[in-house]
Structure 1
Amino acid sequence: MTNWTQDNAGNGQYAEVNGINLYYESHGAGRPLILLHGGLGSGEMFGPIIGQFADGHRVILVDLQGHGRTADIDRPLHITFMADDVAALIDHLGLEKPDVVGYSLGGGVALQLAIRHPAKVGRLVAASAGIRRNATYPEILEQQGQVGPEAAEFMKETPMYELYSRVAPRPEDFPRLLGKIGEAMAKDYDYTEEVRNLQVPTLIVAADADMCPPSHFVEVFELLDGGLRDGGWMGEGRPKGGHALAILPGLTHYNLFMSPLFAAAALGFVDATE
């Protein structure tokens, strides 16, 4: 069993949006905040820290295409498609510029949501989400190259399979999900120019021992006008777009998403009044 989920009562529903039957849960009350999970996970990944987010916010946990309780559909697994799904969910729910927090795959989706639909997003937190494929450590790229349908048998003892087999509408689709994830990770990408033009106030978050080196996330921050000069006594030298950077100590790519430190950093940013 995973240790991701805690006993937090949520209101699970489906929304027919953008050609997909998207599962989401609502927790708490207050200004809306959308939480987007990592690859091969679901909204349940945030179970250990959902209480922090839901204290003062209406938190909406979304299960992305082919993950958790959202069944796959006949299209590639790509962050731009999933970003459009979330944009359609925002419209479906009548949300007014919710804040969006995404981790790993969800961080990439969150960035694309802000790039493609900036008017729909309040503040953005993108955690553990590199913007260039070649920024990922070579040994991790090699491991990612081994992900495919044939890996399903080897993954049956992992938290990812335990979760999928327990909640997915079609548990037998796990090899299909691995195949699509593998195909997506094998494709080259570079979102430098798109990120450089981000109009949504964004917090870039990473673990100090993440899948990409800290220098990559500093590079992303520099694209957002950060880290280029002293911030000034009154903050006058901070990035013009309201962007920020957090490198979280003592964490890795594989435990950041359930760290209270991550929740505190994200909430400190989305709740800022500046």
Structure 2
Amino acid sequence: MSDTTTTGRYADVNGLHLYYETHGTGRPLILLHGGLGAGGMFGPILPALTERHQVILPDLQGHGRTADIDRPIDIALMADDIAALIDHLGLDRPDVAGYSLGGGVALLTAIRHPEKVGRLVSASAHIRTDALPAEMREQQGQVNAAAAEFLKETPMYQTYMELAPRPEDFPRLLDKMGEAMSHDFDYTEEVRGLQMPTLIVAGDADMAPPSHYVEVFKLLDGGLRDGGWMSEGRPKGGHALAILPGLTHYNLFASPLFAAVTLAFLDPEETSWVG
């Protein structure tokens, strides 16, 4: 199918002037970027995804071309934004995928608005605070406005300066991100109750260890028995797990491997390894 691209548009949802782009044609896929990023970070894998899907790339609250508003950075609130965007666009149970912060938003969209989500892909998003090593928690505790000066040579800062409606808001965004990461959370029971087919993805050297994502898969009836010759032992809900070799939290989003496993999961009729 053609890789047609519309110019970016805005949807007014929940008091937010939410920027989004639409690329390609096919079954809709909402794809959510990581923290301090924007939808454009998926550029390297977008051509593969748009071969069979209409990919919708929102910029989450305070990121990219979506200006911040007077509320916390909270994945539950951003999940409600995505649910409102689905309604705004008149979509019928689109697939929702996300990476890192976006993986958490995708997960919470499925938890809070299950009737709006077809298939779910959550990549590099841990479901419990204590899944992260202590040194990583310590690094997250250093994210605040004072860190803005140290980030000026990073692609994240440069992207923000290029896209943000108010570039001077960068320190404020860091404060809000640091505040968001300071709160403990545990979505174990909510994940256990997911009904739509769900793919959990992580790099083999991700922010949380592979063992954590195996635990998440077990919550979804995965990894508990032999799958069987006819896949009769696979998770009853059609869930799947992908630990991607040679990848970290900081390059997974642009990897052809991420695109490949996402497409295989979203389009099971095209493959033989997911049900």
Instruction: Give the TM-score band, short-chain normalised.
Output: over 0.9
Q: In the aligned structure 1, how far is the partner of 2:262 from the partner of 2:58?
A: 17
Q: Pick from 102, 107, 111: which aligns with 1:111?
A: 107
Unmatched 5+ residue regions in structure 1?
1-7
Residue matched to 1:209: 205
Structure 1 residue 147 and structure 2 residue 143: aligned? yes
Q: What letter matches 2:243 in structure 1?
A: I
Residue 139 of structure 1, CA deviation: 1.1
Q: SS of 1:177's equivalent?
A: helix
Alignment of 1:149-168 (within 5 A): 149-168=145-164
Residue matched to 1:26: 22
Q: In the aligned structure 2, how far is the partner of 1:183 from the partner of 1:60?
A: 28
Q: SS of 1:65's equivalent?
A: coil
Q: Which runs of 4+ in 1 moved over 4 A?
A: none
Structure 1 residue 69 and structure 2 residue 65: aligned? yes
Q: In the aligned structure 2, how far is the partner of 1:70 from the partner of 1:137?
A: 32
Q: Is the 8 A contact 2:7 2:21 kept in 1?
A: yes
Residue matched to 1:221: 217
Q: Pick from 27, 35, 38: which aligns with 1:39?
A: 35
Q: SS of 2:8's equivalent?
A: strand
Q: What letter matches 1:53 in structure 2?
A: L
Q: SS of 1:14's equivalent?
A: strand
Q: Pick from 128, 132, 151: which aligns with 1:132?
A: 128
Structure 1 residue 238 and structure 2 residue 199: aligned? no
CA-to-aligned-CA distance 1:195-243 (integer Å, 9 cap, x gap): 1101111000000000000000000000000001111111111101110
Q: Is the 8 A contact 1:32 1:99 kept in 2?
A: yes
Q: Is the 8 A contact 2:30 2:55 kept in 1?
A: yes
Q: Is the 8 A contact 1:11 1:27 kept in 2?
A: no
CA-to-aligned-CA distance 1:161-200 (integer Å, 9 cap, x gap): 0000000000000000000000001111111011110111
Residue matched to 2:54: 58
Q: In the aligned structure 2, how far is the partner of 1:28 from the partner of 1:11?
A: 12
Unmatched 5+ residue regions in structure 2?
270-274
TM-score of the superposed pair, with normalisation by structure 2: 0.96
Q: In the aligned structure 2, how far is the partner of 1:149 from the partner of 1:200?
A: 39
Q: What letter matches 1:130 in structure 2?
A: H
Instruction: State the identity as a percent.
Output: 74
Residue matched to 2:82: 86
Residue 27 of structure 1, CA deviation: 0.3
TM-score of the superposed pair, with normalisation by structure 1: 0.96
CA-to-aligned-CA distance 1:34-84 (integer Å, 9 cap, x gap): 100000000011011111111111100010000000000111100000000
Structure 1 residue 171 and structure 2 residue 170: aligned? no
Q: In the aligned structure 2, how far is the partner of 1:66 from the partner of 1:210?
A: 25
Residue matched to 1:5: none
Residue 11 of structure 1, CA deviation: 2.3
Two-structure CA RMSD over aligned residues (Å):
1.2
Q: SS of 1:11's equivalent?
A: coil
Q: In the aligned structure 2, how far is the partner of 1:51 from the partner of 1:215?
A: 32
Q: In the aligned structure 2, how far is the partner of 1:10 from the partner of 1:204?
A: 30
Q: Is the 8 A contact 2:5 2:24 kept in 1?
A: no
Structure 1 residue 252 and structure 2 residue 248: aligned? yes
Residues paired across the two proteins, number: 268
Residue matched to 2:272: none
Residue 19 of structure 1, CA deviation: 1.5
